[in-house]
Amino acid sequence: MTLVNLATVLSKAKEGKYAVGAFNATDLNTARGIVEAAEQEKSPIILQFAESHSKYISLEQAANMYLDLATRACVPICVHLDHGENFNTIIRAIKLGFTSVMVDASLKPFEENIQNTKEIVKIAQSLGISVEAELGVMNAEDGSGSLDYNTMDDTYTSVQEAKEFVQKTKIDALAIAFGTVHGLYKKEPNLNYERIKAIQNCTDMPLVMHGGSGLSNEEYQQSVANGITKINYYSTMSFEVTNGLRNYLNSNSDAFLFDVDAKTIELVKNNIAEKIQIFGSSNKA
Ligand SMILES: [Zn+2]
């Protein structure tokens, strides 16, 4: 129980046809809210640190806090490095005790992505640590709303490449591009469920949705039905919890910092618990 690797939680999710939420935290209160939601829902979860969040919390600080929370929790928790772009960061995460790492070499040429990923797989899997890799281009909203979701097909993960990539790298989970974008959506997304299904049929691999913020319940559930078993969800939670705190502070002028801490945990917990229910992983711990 408690601290588990990614392969363990995702193989059960794949078999049970649900998805496990992968939630980023940049501080202790957010991490506590996420873990409390998982315990309330009796759900496995993935608690993530993203390399790009190093300016808010260091890898070492995240490791100490998240691993402590995970080992004390009464549900299975995978502590995962999200978007590991540098070899050194990934090795540091492995040494610190993360149970899963993501190698993000998706912007590199196909063969280089395979080589970089294989190198990490060899080290990580010999230690029982899982590896997620990414294939295809995940677009990101820059806030201007200039992305056209209807003409992104060229950058989606190719079915043939996915098959070759999985065979050659022996990864545990594959992040694919099928129409989701990082950040908050500025227009209606246009998801290609057939692509998820085709990649699933060809690879038989747990598939990962990045850019899982702000989709409708129907879009989450259709994605899961077609083969998504890990959903990365962060931006919407971050935005909604901030709004909740603003409302709280506006109507509680006598609040102390510890009141704000408690309110943050409560808001994160409620937000994450709702997503866990939608992803179908409640009572799967
Ligand atoms: Zn991502």
Ligand 1 centre to CA of 179 (Å) is 13
Span 118-150, pLDDT tens digits: 999 999 999 999 999 999 888 777 767 677 776
- Banded pLDDT at 155 (limits 50, 70, 90): confident
Query: Contact 124/110 with Cβ under 8 angstroms?
Result: no
Q: What is the CATH number of the domain that holds 56?
A: 3.20.20.70
Longest dimension (CA), the chain: 60
Tell me the sheet residues that pair with 232: 22
Ligand 1 centre to CA of 92 (Å) is 20
* Domain contains 1: no
What is the 3-state secondary structure of the chain?
A: CCECCHHHHHHHHHHHCCCEEEEECCCHHHHHHHHHHHHHHCCCEEEEEEHHHCCCCCHHHHHHHHHHHHHHCCCCEEEEEEEECCHHHHHHHHHHCCCEEEECCCCCCHHHHHHHHHHHHHHHHHCCCEEEEEECCCEECCCCCCCCHHHCHHHCCCHHHHHHHHHHHCCCEEEECCCCEECCCCCCCCCCHHHHHHHHHHHCCCEEECCCCCCCHHHHHHHHHCCEEEEEECHHHHHHHHHHHHHHHHHCCCCCHHHHHHHHHHHHHHHHHHHHHHHCCCCCC
Ligand 1 centre to CA of 249 (Å) is 31
Ligand 1 centre to CA of 140 (Å) is 9
- Banded pLDDT at 194 (limits 50, 70, 90): very high
Q: Find the catalytic residue in 27, 68, 82, 104.
A: 82
* Domain contains 235: yes
Residue 1 has pLDDT above 60, yes or no: no
* Domain contains 229: yes
Ligand 1 centre to CA of 181 (Å) is 8
Q: What mean pLDDT is reported for the chain?
A: 95
82 is catalytic: yes
* Domain contains 30: yes
Ligand 1 centre to CA of 183 (Å) is 9
Provide the residues around ligand 1 (an ion) whose CB is within 5 A.
Answer: 210
Average pLDDT for residues 84-103, to the nearest whole number? Answer: 98
What pTM, to 2 d.p., does this model score?
Answer: 0.95
Span 199-233, pLDDT tens digits: 999 999 999 999 888 899 999 999 999 999 999 99
Per the structure, the complete domain to which residue 107 belongs is given by 6-279
| Token pair for 233 | 């969800």
Q: Quote the number of domains for the chain.
A: 1
* Domain contains 175: yes
* Domain contains 13: yes
Ligand 1 centre to CA of 228 (Å) is 14
